[in-house]
Amino acid sequence: MSSFFNKNLPRACKYCVYGKDSVISDEVLCSRHGVTLPGDSCRHYRYDPLRREPQRAKIAGNYKPEDFSL
């Protein structure tokens, strides 16, 4: 859970409460400032952890058939 609330994340409209993803392009529709780029931010920025997509866990590929037997 701590990765969702990381304080070292850059401020970006793509993580903001006021931003919505655009269907047409990769821009963000902000209710405060209109159309913005995903990397922009403003003084109204509020982090929304539900808008963030965490990186997938990498699975090691060095398994043997014995690892899956009982």
Structure tokens at 8: 């070292």
pLDDT for residue 65 is more than 70: yes
Dist CA 24 CA 37 (whole Å): 13
What is the rounded average pLDDT for all residues in the chain? 84
Does 1 have pLDDT greater than 60? no
Q: What is the chain's length?
A: 70
Can you tell me which residue has the tokens 């058939």? 65
Residue-wise pLDDT tens digits, 23-37: 999 899 999 989 999
pTM above 0.75, yes or no: no
pLDDT at 70 over 60: yes
